[in-house]
Amino acid sequence: MKRIILAFLCPLLLTFNCLNTNAQDTKKETIAKVLTDYFFLDRENIHVQSNKSIYMANEQIWFKGYVFHRKKNLPFFTTINVFANLIDDTGKIVDTQLIYANIGSFTGNFKLNSSFRSGKYYLQFYTNWMNNFIEDESAINEITIINTTKGNGNVFAGPDPSKINIEINPEGGTMLSETANILGISVSDCNHNATTVKSVDITDANGKPVQTIQINKLGYGRITLPANTGTGYKAIVNIDGIKHEQAFPVPQIKGVALEVNDFSAPDKTIITLSTNKVTFNSFGGKPLYVVIHKDEDATIYEVSFNSSLVSKLTINNADIPEGMNTIRVLDGDLNPLAERLIYRYPTATLSTTFNETGQTIETLAYQGKVNYANMNLSISILPEDTRSYDTTNDIYSSFLLLPYIDTYKKASGKYYFTTLTKAKSYELDLFLLSQKSKYSWHNIVKNPPKSTYTFDMGLVLKGAVPKLAGPTQFAKVRLYSLTSGIDEVTDVDEKGNFTFNNLLVPDSTYVNFTLLKKSEKPKELTLAPQLLNANKKFARNFLPTPYCYNTIASGTASYNAAPNVEKGTVELEEVKIEARKLKYANIMGNGNLRGYKISEMQANMYQNLLNFIKTYGGFDVNESVGNVTIYGRGVTSVNGGRSSPIIYIDNIMALDFSMLAQIQMSEVDEIYMNAHAIVPSVRNNIGVIRIYLNKGAKPVNKNTTPTIILKNGYSKILPFKNVGYLSTQNEGFVNFGVISWIPNVMTDENGAFKFDIPKTGQKNIKLFIEGFSADGKLISETKTITVK
């Protein structure tokens, strides 16, 4: 949407002015076009919530990802292929995965081991489509891994106190001589994190105090310098008796000074441009252009200076897109003169409430509610005093701030957006005063992106029929997998080549290929297929910024207790805390199903899976000549016909029920069924059956069909499994332990949801809630619950 008003009708007596106006309108059209061309391709933004940020080397990193369509402000429903890298502090990729995203979100985990050394690590998430852009659109999460057997290294060391960053950023980018200037001041430690500094002293060239600037808790402040301010000004900070100083930038002879004020007048934004005589004379009477845009959504204004060398522009906030906007000031040749990020602040936010509804010997039952319907949430549950959760990584910063900022700093969106106030809006503007747009005007004009890299939806499998199989003209190949529910047919060309597109294939899946020819018996094939897009590299290597440590106090500066302070404090071993005997009971969608753990006795008694479904599921099961039908007993669809259930095998939907006849009960780990479960389906399905096979189960092969294993497919989605703690009452657990991780929570039409929490003896627990709705509403909240 472009808010550009062009004047095309002019009286004949004003021909010159008309031509001039049309020329100016042409400039506006040019500006609008370069923005449209640059932001024409859809962009994905990814936010990932991990269950915590500090891990022991024998834990697993659990995460939930959200993919956002920033042009539409909605979940990116069509994103399917997401790549995840685990990167060490040298930039080396130590593990990588292909992850399946479904209707805008994904879940997964990285398993750690004793080979990991203590240090900083990074999770990077990206898609192949992101390679089309000059800017790095990937998501980066910083985590810490502790391997007590190899030593803690520097992971608990604080920053070097002798090194402080003081940054001074003129509003608009230029400190201009002979004009008043506003400058943002930020103070951070050597790792670009906030310090305890509350003020900065400003002195002139002679060291004379000028004024003291207040710094907020995130490290930001601002100063206004009047016109004709001399050179040699300094910002001075004293920390622990050490003096740190930074010189102000040298005023420029030519340019434009920018001031943006959206606080003085209700629902208005006032933009003030100031210049000096040298610059004014260089313009030759030509107007300037003020562009306010959020990606391609632009409002363009023409402004001119008079003898006062000041020009003001008052804009209704309703004319500015909600969210992050860039203000750019361009000259008559469309060269950039000034630039500033601003944020049109929202008026409402989402919040949660929680109530305990009951408890058992092992668990606490809770009901939660969001003040919005149909939310997709994830919840990390940790001890109240946890030291292992990064509160600066949240969905607000990932979707609303960081995609637009060219910065190595973190941005605590939760701080600005959880509670909406004028004070928080002002602090956000203070933060943006010291930031720079990630999208340079030079690239926007000169380097619009091209769709060179594909938007992958599923996997592409390519293969060739062996020549011994004979002519392949008019032939087809069938791809079949019992364990993954795949049953696809594709054409074979005259050279014997074939391709399957848009496949959903879990990693290490057993498959079969069959050659189909008219009037001939199907022939099983042995071949070596390739998954062409299963390992797409990211075009922009992530190189971490080296950390700056206080080596004198290494290992003790940040925490009073490392994980191994007391013998056995956080000795992590397999399965000591389990809320339920069923492994997959907490998987999304299984809560309303009855679950069965298949014992050896049941496997021997029923042998065939269909017999078990018929006996326990409440379904009518019929098998005839290899064809299997399953209907709910007494269950009919809305059109009066009998309704079939939806069936999943290891979370992959089975499209052909006949494959169930080949599954023996000895291959089944757990099964969940409900013949009356309501299923959103255009086919009027009613009922759900979810089957989980034993790990490593191989499809039954009665006909000695050659079995082929496909590597590098999608990582398998596993249920959360906590490590076992020898104690949950010590300092190690309080600092670094995990109570629970619930990655998939779907609220109902009233915003309500239920969940269970294992009892760990904690009086207070902390919930970190993240998520979005189907129409793009965001939530990021921290709640503390007192256990009754």
- The predicted-structure confidence for 115-124, as pLDDT tens digits, reads as follows 999 999 999 9
Q: Give pLDDT, residue 266.
A: 85
Q: What is the pLDDT of residues 468-524, one digit of tens each?
A: 888 888 899 999 887 677 889 999 998 999 999 999 998 888 888 999 998 899 998
Q: Is 450 exposed, middle or buried (0-12, 13-18, 19+ CB in 10 A)?
A: exposed
From residue 114, give the alpha-carbon distance in Å to each of 93, 198, 392, 573, 758.
17, 42, 28, 13, 27
Interior CA angle at 80 toward 78 and 84, to 5°?
135
Please state the domain count of the chain: 1
Which band of pLDDT confidence, cut at 50, 70 and 90, is reported for residue 603? confident
Q: Give pLDDT, residue 641.
A: 59
Which of 240-249, 622-631, 776-785 is least confident? 622-631
- Is pLDDT at 559 greater than 70 in this prediction? no
- Is pLDDT at 587 greater than 60 in this prediction? yes
Which band of pLDDT confidence, cut at 50, 70 and 90, is reported for residue 705? low
**Residue 766: partners with Cβ closer than 8 Å, 6 or more residues away:** 381, 382, 383, 384, 386, 389, 782, 783, 784, 785
Q: What is the pLDDT of residues 82-131, one digit of tens each?
A: 999 999 999 999 999 999 999 999 999 999 999 999 999 999 999 999 99
Residue 643 within any structural domain of the chain: yes
Which domain range does residue 604 map to? 459-532+599-715
Give the percent of the chain with pLDDT over 90: 64
Residue 784 within any structural domain of the chain: no
- Taking the C-alpha atoms of residue 16 and residue 24, their distance in angstroms, rounded to an integer, is 12
Name the 3-class secondary structure at 128. helix
Which band of pLDDT confidence, cut at 50, 70 and 90, is reported for residue 557? very low
- Taking the C-alpha atoms of residue 180 and residue 225, their distance in angstroms, rounded to an integer, is 6
Q: Give pLDDT, residue 408.
A: 65
Q: What is the pLDDT of residues 606-616, one digit of tens each?
A: 778 888 898 88
DSSP sequence for 319-340: GS-SEEEEEEEE-TT--EEEEE
Which of 718, 722, 775 minimizes the C-alpha distance to 744?
Answer: 718
Residue 673 within any structural domain of the chain: yes
Contact 583/693 with Cβ under 8 angstroms? no
- The DSSP bridge partners found for residue 754 are 367
User: Which one is predicted more confidently, 541 or 702?
Assistant: 541
**Residue 777: partners with Cβ closer than 8 Å, 6 or more residues away:** 350, 372, 375
Please give the average per-residue pLDDT across 671-690, as a whole number: 80
Which of 472, 511, 513, 512 minimizes the C-alpha distance to 495?
Answer: 472
Structure tokens at 364: 């606490």
- Is pLDDT at 5 greater than 50 in this prediction? no
- Taking the C-alpha atoms of residue 229 and residue 178, their distance in angstroms, rounded to an integer, is 8
Residue 480 within any structural domain of the chain: yes
Question: Which residue, chain included where needed, has tokens 């919040």?
Answer: 351
Our measurement of the distance from residue 503's CA atom to the centroid of its chain's CA atoms, rounded to an integer in Å, reads 24
Q: Is 707 exposed, middle or buried (0-12, 13-18, 19+ CB in 10 A)?
A: middle
**Residue 377: partners with Cβ closer than 8 Å, 6 or more residues away:** 370, 745, 746, 747, 753, 769, 770, 771, 779
Q: Give pLDDT, residue 578.
A: 34
Residue 287 within any structural domain of the chain: no
Residue 671 within any structural domain of the chain: yes
Please give the average per-residue pLDDT across 567-583, as a whole number: 44
Q: Give pLDDT, residue 709.
A: 86
Structure tokens at 506: 């879990």
Please give the average per-residue pLDDT across 296-319, as a whole number: 92
Structure tokens at 27: 């400039």
Contact 661/669 with Cβ under 8 angstroms? no
DSSP sequence for 683-710: T--EEEEEEEEPTT-----TT----EEE
- Is pLDDT at 638 greater than 50 in this prediction? no
Structure tokens at 256: 């434009």
Residue 615 within any structural domain of the chain: yes
Which band of pLDDT confidence, cut at 50, 70 and 90, is reported for residue 446? very high
- Is pLDDT at 180 greater than 70 in this prediction? yes
Name the 3-class secondary structure at 251. coil
Q: Give pLDDT, residue 682.
A: 53
Name the 3-class secondary structure at 467. helix
The pairs formed by 579-585 with CB atoms below 8 angstroms and a separation of 24 or more are 579/362, 579/363, 579/740, 579/756, 579/758, 582/670, 583/669, 583/670, 583/692, 583/719, 583/721, 584/670, 584/672, 584/690, 584/692, 584/719, 585/672, 585/719
Contact 213/223 with Cβ under 8 angstroms? yes
Q: Give pLDDT, residue 601.
A: 78
Please give the average per-residue pLDDT across 139-148, as a whole number: 94
Q: What is the pLDDT of residues 400-434, one digit of tens each?
A: 999 999 976 678 899 999 999 999 999 999 999 99
DSSP sequence for 378-409: EEEEEETT-S---TT--HHIIIIIGGGB--SS
Please give the average per-residue pLDDT across 606-627, as a whole number: 82
Q: What is the pLDDT of residues 334-384, one digit of tens each?
A: 999 999 999 999 988 999 999 999 999 899 999 999 999 999 999 999 999
- The DSSP bridge partners found for residue 140 are 124
Contact 405/436 with Cβ under 8 angstroms? yes
- Is pLDDT at 556 greater than 50 in this prediction? no
Please state, as a whole number, how many other Cβ atoms lie within 10 Å of the Cβ of residue 384: 14
Q: Give pLDDT, residue 639.
A: 43
- Is pLDDT at 251 greater than 70 in this prediction? yes
Structure tokens at 422: 């004028």
Which band of pLDDT confidence, cut at 50, 70 and 90, is reported for residue 743? very high
Please give the average per-residue pLDDT across 526-545, as a whole number: 92
Give the percent of the chain with pLDDT over 70: 89
Residue 283 within any structural domain of the chain: no
Contact 692/584 with Cβ under 8 angstroms? yes
Please give the average per-residue pLDDT across 201-214, as a whole number: 93
Q: Give pLDDT, residue 509.
A: 85
Q: Give pLDDT, residue 229.
A: 82
- Is pLDDT at 49 greater than 60 in this prediction? yes
Which band of pLDDT confidence, cut at 50, 70 and 90, is reported for residue 577? very low
**Residue 614: partners with Cβ closer than 8 Å, 6 or more residues away:** 620, 621
- Is pLDDT at 223 greater than 90 in this prediction? yes
- Is pLDDT at 633 greater than 80 in this prediction? no
- Taking the C-alpha atoms of residue 101 and residue 79, their distance in angstroms, rounded to an integer, is 6
